[in-house]
Amino acid sequence: MATENEIATKKYRRARWITLSLAAIVGLLGVIVFLGVGRWLVVQDPLEKAQAILVLSGGMPFRAEEAARLYREGYAPKVWLTHSAEPGATLSAMGLSYISEDAYNVRVLTHEGVPPSAIRLLHPDILNTADEISIASEALAQEKGSAVIIVTSKVHTRRARILWHRLAARQGTAIVRATSDDPFEPGRWWRTTADALDVVREVLGILNAWAGMPLRPER
């Protein structure tokens, strides 16, 4: 018969083997998640005709260029822009003039063949993507449309889709599209500081959206 020491040794070895196996599984899953999160963040919806093409703030000039391409291809008769409250408000308080991002986006759009009459600046001012989704859904309801194409950067597409489903799904359908010339590399996102920071920001933003958006920007 096995002695108590032998039994204890066997139990210890078994427990250590189980612990190491679990650690290896967790480590493997961590590597899979780490390598795959960049691709997971990028989503594309099939293109359909829509009421308008919404250019989310940021990613200039790529997002406006993509919106112009979709406009020229006839997917929507209008392009919607948003106006960010910052940094214009802070600079104005300092007595400094600021040419807003939407003003440059208008220039890009017209340069790429979108007539000024087809461009609409949505109000009020926005601070984040959730604000943009909210005012776009209101504009869609005002114009009695059923769908809007949302143009944004690759890494931002999943969060934009999640926010639409959370905040505006009752107002209509969002067709989320990534910019064609976006330099983001989803399969190698850890190789550059810019891509890594984008991934971290998007993951945190998605977690915040899933949690009911307890974290909100300062106003």
pLDDT digits (tens, 9 = 90+) for 29-42: 666 667 789 999 99
Q: What is the pLDDT of residue 104?
A: 95
pTM listed for this prediction: 0.86
Residue type, 179: T
| pLDDT: which is higher, 19 or 72 | 72
- DSSP structure class, residue 14: H
**149 or 214, greater pLDDT:** 149
Summarised one tens digit per residue, pLDDT across range 41-77 is 999 999 999 999 999 999 899 999 999 999 999 999 9
Domains of the chain, residue spans? 52-185
- Per DSSP, the three-state class of 21 is helix
- The burial class, CB within 10 Å (0-12 / 13-18 / 19+), for 59 is buried
- Give SS3 for 136: helix
Q: Which residue has the tokens 């096995």?
A: 2
CA distance 64 to 146: 22
* Per-residue pLDDT band at 218 (split at 50, 70, 90): low
Confidence tier at 156 by pLDDT (50, 70, 90) = very high
Q: What is the DSSP string of 158-173?
A: HHHHHHHHHHTGGG-E
- pLDDT reading at 198 higher than 90: yes
Peptide bond into 87 cis (omega under 30): yes
The DSSP secondary-structure symbol of 121 reads E
Q: Tell me the two tokens of residue 4.
A: 């108590």
What mean pLDDT comes out for the span 141-156? 96
Helix and strand totals (H; E) in the chain: 7, 5
Beta-sheet strand order (sheet of 147-152): 119-121, 79-81, 52-55, 147-152, 173-178
Mean pLDDT of the region 79-84: 95
Q: Which CATH superfamily, name and number, covers 52-185?
A: HUPs (3.40.50.620)
Residues of the chain with pLDDT > 90, as a percent, come to 69
* Helix 157-167 and helix 4-41, axial crossing angle in degrees, nearest 10: 90
Phi/psi for 189 (5° steps) reads: -65, -25
CA distance 79 to 72: 11
